Structure 1
Amino acid sequence: MQVVSNARRVSRLLQSPIFLSSHLRSTEEPILSGLTQRNYQQVKSEPLDFFASKAFYSSGADNVEGTPTDAVKDLYDKMLQSVNVKRSMPPNAWLWSMIANCKHHHDISLLFDILQNLRRFRLSNLRIHDNFNCNLCREVTKACVHAGALDFGKKALWKHNVYGLAPSVASAHHLLLFAKNNNDIKLLEEVMRLLKRNGLPLQPGTADIVFSICYNTDEWELINKYAKRFVMAGVKLRQTSFDTWMKFAAKRGDTESLWKIEKLRSDSLKPHTLATGFSCAKGLLLERKPSDAVAIIQVLNQTLSDAKKSGMKDELQKLVSEWPLEVLKHKQEEERKTLAASLKSDILAMVNDLLDMGLEANVSLEDLNIREGVPQ
C-alpha cells in the first residue's frame, strides 16, 4: 500500500503544469557572406596554376596542397568538353562517378565548378530551371564531409545557389554527424543557422543529433536553446531525444528544467524508458523524496519488458557511484557539503527500500562515500 501511495503522489507531481525554460541563449548571429563564384575561364585555361595559387578555407582537416585526383580530373575534363565543345549534356553516370571519387578538397572544388557549368548549360541550352534532385545534393554533401571540404558542404545548404543544388535537412545531417563525431560546437551552430536562414524544416532526427552533440560537449544552455526551437517548430521529439535531454538535466541537478521536460514527454504520450525514469528518480532524490524515487523505479520494474529491464542494475549502480559526483561538480561550492550529505542519506534509504521490496539489485554501496567537493 505504501508503494501505491507513493506512486500516486509521484503521478500527481508529474502532472503539474510546466512550461519550457526561458533562460536561453540569445538569437543566432548573422550568417557569413554569400557564395563566391569562381572564374571559369581561368580554370579552363590554367587549371594547375589556379589550384597552385588558390587556398580554400575549411573548418575540417582539409588537404589544400597537391592536385586533384586523376579520376576526378579526367571526369571533369570530359564533362567540361561535353557542355562547352560538343554542346550536349554529359551522361549522369559521369557526375555520380565524379562524386564517388572525390577524396580531397581540390576534388570537391572541381566538382562544384562542374556543377555550376552543368546548371548554366541546363538553363541556357535545355531551358531547365529546376535544381538537381535532393539525392544529388545529399551525396554531394556527403562527399564534402568525406573529403574534409566543409566549406563547400555548407554551401550546399543554401536555397539560392549557383550550383543547382536542392538543399535538404538530410544533407545537413551529414554535416551534423561530422560535428557529433568531432565534438564540433562551432560547426553545429553554423549548420543550425543555415537551416534557419534557408527555411529548411527541422526533423526528429535532427534533434537526436543536436541533443547528442550538446550532451557530449556539456553545452546545457545550448541544448535548451535548440530544444525550444524544435518544440516551437512542432517537431515531435523521439524517445531518444527525451532520454538525452532529461539525463542532461539530472546530471546538472536542474530539477526545475527536469520537470518541464518531463511534462513535455508525458504530454506527447511517450512511455518512460530507463533513462527518463531514472532521471525522474534522480530529480526526486534532489528534492529529498527518496520514497517517491523508490516508487518510480518500482513502476519501471513492473512495466518495462524483460529485455529493457535487464539494464536496471547498471542504471542503479550509476546512480549510486557516478551521478552524485556529476551533480556536485555543477553546484556552487557553498551548496556541495549540504547536498553531498543529503544525497548520501537519501540514496542509501532508497536502495535499502528497493532491496526490502525484493528488487534484484546487486549494487555496491562502497562508492556512496561522497566527498564534499568535486573529485580531483
Structure 2
Amino acid sequence: MQAAAGLARRLLTSPAASGISGVLSLPCLGCAALGESGVLPHLNGLPPSPSAPHQGRSFSAASSSRVPGNLLWPCISSQRWNEKPVCYHMAATHFSTEASDIDQPTEAVEELYQKMLKSVEAETMPPNAWLWSMISSCSNKEDIKLLFQILQKLRIFRLSNLRINANFNDHLCMKVAEACARVGTLDYGLKVLWKHNVYGITPTIGSAHYLLKHAKEKNDTKLMGNIMQVLQRNSMPLQPGTADIVFSICYNADRWDLLSKYAIRFMKSGVKLHGIAFDIWMDFAAKVGDSQSIWNINSLRGKSVKRYSLATGFACVKGFLLERKPESAADMIKLLHKHSPDEKKQLVKDELQKLVAEWPVEVIKRQKKDDRKALEEALISDIPKMISSMSKSGLDISVNLDNLTPQLEAA
C-alpha cells in the first residue's frame, strides 16, 4: 500500500502530470465497466458507480492535483504488486441542489454522514458521538436514508476491520426507532424490528412498543397491524405491555373485531395480561353488548388478577343488566363500593351515573335494528330495579334517572 501511495505521488509531481487525466480516466472507466458487469467486488455491499457519462464530473489537469491520493491509487493497475485490480467507488449518494428541501437531507445530517464515511474509508472507526448526533438530527426521510446507509457501512467495518460480530447496543437501536417515528418514515422503522438485517440493529420489544405508541398517537390501526405482523414474522415474543398498547389502539379506533383477533393471539402465546388490558377488554365487551364475552374474559381475569377494578366490576354490572338480572347487578355494585377505599367511593357513584346516562344509548345503537326495541324496554325497566335493590340492601346512592327514557328513545 505504501508503494502504491508513493507511485501516485510521483505521478502527480512528474512533468507529465498535465496529462494525468488520460492515465486516470482509462483505468477508472475500465473498473467501472467491470464493476457493472459484476466482475469486480463491491465495497461495503454498495452497487457500482454509473458509467462516465453519468458522473457529471471528470478529472482534468487543473483538478487532478487536488484529488486525494488515496482515491487515485486503487484505479491504477496493481499487477506490479501481484494483486488483483480492484476499483473502489465512493458512496453513491448525491445531494442535488435542484431538488426541493423535502427531497434532500438536512445540512447537519449530510455533514455528519460525509465525516463518518471518510473515516470508514480511511479505515478508522468514527467517534460514537457523531452517530448519536446524526440520529438526533434526523428530520426527514432523506436523513433517515443516510442514517441507515451509514449504519450498514459501520456494521461492515466493525465486522471486517475490527472483528466485532455483535450488533449495536439496544439503546442505540431504540433511538433509531424513535428517529423513524419522529420523522414519520415507518417503512424504515419496521426494519428496526427485523431479526436478520444488514444494519447491525438488534430488534427489541422496547422498539416495537415505541412504534406501537406512535401508532396509538396517530390512531393508526394499519400501522399497528404491520408492526404486529413484523413481530410475528421475526419470532419476537409478545409481552403484557404489548397487549396494553394494542388493546388501547383497538378501543380508541372502535374496532372490537381487531381487539378480539389480537386477544386470541395473546392468549395463545401465553401472555399474562396486565389488569389494564382486562379493563379495556371487558369494558369494550360491555360497550358492544356482548355479555358472553364479558363472562369469558372475566374468567380469564380471575386467574391472574384477583380483585375487581372499577372497569371490570362495572363491566360485570352491565353484563347482568344485559341478561335481565338487576338484583345481581346491584349486588356487584355493593361489592365494589364495600371494597373501595373511602377516598375512591365517590368514583363508584360517578361510574354508576355514567352507566345510567351514557351506556344504554351506546349499547343500544350497536345492536341489530330488530333487537334495539327489546333491549331498550329491558334497560328502562331493569336499571331502576337495580337502583331500588341497592337501596333495599343498605347502599343508598342517589342517581339521576330523569333522562333515562328520553336518551334511550333518541338512540
Using structure 1 for the length normalisation, give the TM-score.
Answer: 0.82
From 197, 201, 207, give the equivalent of 2:233: 197
Is the CA contact (8 Å cut-off) linking 2:244 and 2:277 kept in structure 1? yes
Matches within 5 A, 1:89-168: 89-168=125-204
The one-letter code matched in structure 2 to 1:68 is P
After TM superposition, give the deviation of residue 217 of structure 1 in Å.
1.0
Residue equivalent to 1:238: 274
Per-residue CA deviations over 1:45-101 (Å, capped at 9, x if unaligned) read 552149949xxxxxxxxxx824222221111111111101x2111111111111111
Aligned equivalents of 1:40, 1:143: Cα separation in 2:
29
The one-letter code matched in structure 2 to 1:47 is H
SS at the partner of 2:115?
Answer: helix
Matches within 5 A, 1:265-284: 265-284=301-320
Is the CA contact (8 Å cut-off) linking 1:38 and 1:113 kept in structure 2? no
Which structure 2 segments of 5+ residues have no match?
A: 1-44, 51-89
Matched, 1:296 2:332: yes
**Which deviates the most, 277-286 or 126-135?**
126-135
Aligned equivalents of 1:40, 1:309: Cα separation in 2:
72
In structure 2, relative to structure 1, the CA distance for the partners of 1:307 and 1:247 (3 Å cut) is same
From 262, 274, 285, give the equivalent of 1:226: 262
Aligned equivalents of 1:254, 1:51: Cα separation in 2:
59
Is the CA contact (8 Å cut-off) linking 2:275 and 2:305 kept in structure 1? no
Is the CA contact (8 Å cut-off) linking 1:180 and 1:213 kept in structure 2? yes
Per-residue CA deviations over 1:110-137 (Å, capped at 9, x if unaligned) read 1111101101111111122221122111
Aligned-pair identity in percent equals 52
The one-letter code matched in structure 2 to 1:143 is A
Residue equivalent to 1:186: 222
Aligned equivalents of 1:231, 1:308: Cα separation in 2:
32
After TM superposition, give the deviation of residue 38 of structure 1 in Å.
6.8
From 94, 101, 112, give the equivalent of 1:47: 94
Is the CA contact (8 Å cut-off) linking 1:251 and 1:323 kept in structure 2? yes
Aligned equivalents of 2:125, 2:184: Cα separation in 1:
29
Between the two structures, name the one with larger relative contact order (CA 8 Å, sep ≥ 6). 1
Is the CA contact (8 Å cut-off) linking 1:329 and 1:374 kept in structure 2? no
The one-letter code matched in structure 2 to 1:81 is K
The one-letter code matched in structure 2 to 1:44 is A
In structure 2, relative to structure 1, the CA distance for the partners of 1:180 and 1:45 (3 Å cut) is closer
In structure 2, relative to structure 1, the CA distance for the partners of 1:314 and 1:76 (3 Å cut) is same
From 99, 111, 116, give the equivalent of 1:79: 116
Is the CA contact (8 Å cut-off) linking 1:211 and 1:241 kept in structure 2? yes
In structure 2, relative to structure 1, the CA distance for the partners of 1:341 and 1:91 (3 Å cut) is same
The one-letter code matched in structure 1 to 2:252 is N
Is the CA contact (8 Å cut-off) linking 1:208 and 1:240 kept in structure 2? yes
Aligned equivalents of 1:357, 1:107: Cα separation in 2:
67
Aligned equivalents of 2:48, 2:201: Cα separation in 1:
18
**Which deviates the most, 118-127 or 40-49?**
40-49
Is the CA contact (8 Å cut-off) linking 1:123 and 1:129 kept in structure 2? yes
After TM superposition, give the deviation of residue 353 of structure 1 in Å.
2.6
The one-letter code matched in structure 1 to 2:91 is K
Matched, 1:319 2:355: yes
Per-residue CA deviations over 1:306-338 (Å, capped at 9, x if unaligned) read 343331122111110111111111111111111
Residue equivalent to 2:246: 210
After TM superposition, give the deviation of residue 40 of structure 1 in Å.
8.1
Aligned equivalents of 2:406, 2:377: Cα separation in 1:
8
In structure 2, relative to structure 1, the CA distance for the partners of 1:306 and 1:39 (3 Å cut) is farther
Residue equivalent to 1:65: 102
Per-residue CA deviations over 1:267-320 (Å, capped at 9, x if unaligned) read 114310000000000000010100000111101111122343331122111110
Is the CA contact (8 Å cut-off) linking 1:250 and 1:282 kept in structure 2? yes
Residue equivalent to 1:350: 386
SS at the partner of 2:403?
Answer: helix
Query: Which structure is larger by alpha-carbon Rg, 1 or 2?
Result: 2
Is the CA contact (8 Å cut-off) linking 1:239 and 1:270 kept in structure 2? no
Which structure 1 segments of 5+ residues have no match?
A: 1-36, 54-63
Aligned equivalents of 2:396, 2:169: Cα separation in 1:
55
Is the CA contact (8 Å cut-off) linking 1:274 and 1:308 kept in structure 2? no
In structure 2, relative to structure 1, the CA distance for the partners of 1:40 and 1:176 (3 Å cut) is farther
Per-residue CA deviations over 1:208-229 (Å, capped at 9, x if unaligned) read 0000011111111211111111
Kindly tell me the number of residue pairs found equivalent between the two proteins. 328
Aligned equivalents of 1:291, 1:69: Cα separation in 2:
67
Matched, 1:287 2:323: yes
Residue equivalent to 1:31: none
The one-letter code matched in structure 2 to 1:144 is C
After TM superposition, give the deviation of residue 254 of structure 1 in Å.
0.4
Q: Which runs of 4+ in 1 moved over 6 A?
A: none
